[in-house]
Homo-oligomer: A and B are copies of this chain.
Amino acid sequence: MSGVSSDQLHKSTLSVYSNLMEHFNPGLQKLVALGNSYIKAFQALGVCSEAYFSAVAKMGDQALHTLSSRSLGDVLIQISETQRRLTAEMEGVFRWFQIEVLQAMEKNIKLDEEYIDGSRRVYELEVRNQAEALEKQLRRGTYRDSLENSEYMLYLRQSHQEILKEEERRYRFLAEKHCGLTQSLLFLINKVFIHTGHPTQ
Contacts and interface: CB of A to CB of B under 8 A. Distances in A.
Interface residues of A, number: 62
Contacts of A19: 62, 66
B75 A175 contact: yes
A62 B175 contact: no
Interface string A6-35: 000000100010010001100110110011
Contact of A41 (B41, B83, B193): B41
A109 B24 CA distance: 54
A179 interface: yes
Contacts of A83: 181-182
Copies in the complex: 2
Contacts of A201: 186
A167 B38 CA distance: 42
Contact of A38 (B37, B45, B183): B45
Interface in A165-201: 165, 167-168, 171-172, 174-175, 178-179, 181-183, 185-186, 189, 193, 198-201
Given A38-B45, A186-B193, A31 B52 contact: yes
A48 B40 CA distance: 9
Interface of A: 12, 16, 19, 23-24, 27-28, 30-31, 34-35, 37-38, 40-42, 44-45, 47-49, 51-52, 55-56, 58-59, 62-63, 66-69, 72-73, 75-76, 79, 82-83, 86, 164-165, 167-168, 171-172, 174-175, 178-179, 181-183, 185-186, 189, 193, 198-201
